[in-house]
């Protein structure tokens, strides 16, 4: 299978779906990760230009650890992700055409911040455009408008009811190790906000595990729109 995960910030994927991505990679699936924003505003002391470069490198390291084939950065500034941005829509469409995924993972529309919500909307819209022949990008059109989309959990699981779970008991440590690659965020949150974010993410995964009867799990909600509903399970 070919899996494409399009998230907003460099660490969003590890937080909500890192264990699932690792399972895909371990069973031999081709996994491409893409983050729209560069995370340049996620610090108070480190200046945006420098932070964007740091976080891009951290995302590459985290993706490599999870087994991703490639990590793509669209380099949008934080707070500037918009589903109404036509240039961004075309760039996302190109990513989908390039990856030709069997399934897409992205943000839910009930997430906690605008950039996340707009990312989910932009991915839904752009993935439909992949089949439109006269919507020109570098890669040719293909019938990707029926590609299943799985919305990943919100931060803290607030107001998110999974319809499917992935048992990540065997990849939870790899998920945490990949999250630790994002040192600029983990260290800052511990020092500034007094939040042990790795413990936070582990606890959320354990909570989802309790819900489905395993040690650790990640929750997803399938995009229930025609014609994106598959007849077989695509999550690992």
pLDDT averaged per 10 residues in sequence order, the chain, 236 residues: 98 97 98 98 93 96 98 97 96 97 96 96 95 94 89 95 98 98 93 92 98 98 95 96
In the sheet that holds 217-222, the strands lie side by side as: 70-76, 30-37, 2-7, 103-107, 149-152, 217-222, 164-167
What pLDDT shows up at residue 152?
98
What pLDDT shows up at residue 192?
84
Q: Please state the pTM of the whole predicted model.
A: 0.96
Q: What is the DSSP letter of 77?
A: P
Q: For residue 74, give both structure tokens.
A: 């669209």
What pLDDT shows up at residue 97?
97
> What does the alpha-carbon distance between residue 170 and residue 118 come to, in Å, rounded to a whole number?
32
In this structure, the strands spanning 103-107 and 70-76 are unpaired
What pLDDT shows up at residue 145?
79
Determine how many CB atoms are found less than 10 A away from the CB of residue 33. Answer: 28
Q: Which class in CATH covers the domain with range 2-222?
A: alpha beta
What pLDDT shows up at residue 193?
84
What pLDDT shows up at residue 208?
98
Determine how many CB atoms are found less than 10 A away from the CB of residue 137. Answer: 18
What pLDDT shows up at residue 109?
92
Which is nearest to 101 in space by CA: 17, 8, 5, 9? 5
């Amino acid at each position: 299978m070919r899996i494409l995960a399009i998230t907003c910030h460099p660490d969003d994927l590890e937080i909500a779906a890192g264990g699932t991505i690792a399972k895909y990679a371990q069973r031999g699936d081709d996994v491409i990760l893409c983050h729209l924003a560069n995370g340049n505003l996620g610090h108070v002391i480190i200046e945006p230009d420098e932070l964007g470069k740091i976080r891009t490198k951290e995302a590459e390291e985290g993706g490599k650890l999870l087994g991703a084939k490639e990590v793509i950065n669209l380099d949008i500034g934080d707070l500037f992700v918009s589903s109404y941005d036509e240039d961004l829509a075309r760039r996302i469409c190109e990513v989908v055409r390039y990856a030709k995924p069997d399934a897409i993972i992205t943000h839910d529309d009930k997430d906690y911040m605008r950039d996340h919500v707009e990312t989910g909307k932009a991915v839904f819209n752009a993935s439909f455009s992949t089949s439109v022949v006269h919507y020109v990008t570098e890669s040719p059109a293909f019938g990707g408008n029926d590609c299943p989309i799985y919305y990943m959990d919100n931060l803290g699981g607030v107001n998110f009811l999974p319809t499917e779970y992935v048992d990540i008991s065997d990849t939870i440590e790899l998920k945490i190790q990949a999250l630790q690659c994002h040192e600029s965020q983990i260290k800052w949150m511990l020092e500034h906000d007094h939040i042990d974010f790795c413990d936070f993410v582990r606890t959320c995964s354990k909570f989802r595990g309790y819900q489905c009867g395993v040690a650790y799990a990640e929750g997803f909600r399938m995009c229930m729109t025609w014609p994106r509903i598959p007849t077989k399970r695509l999550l690992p």
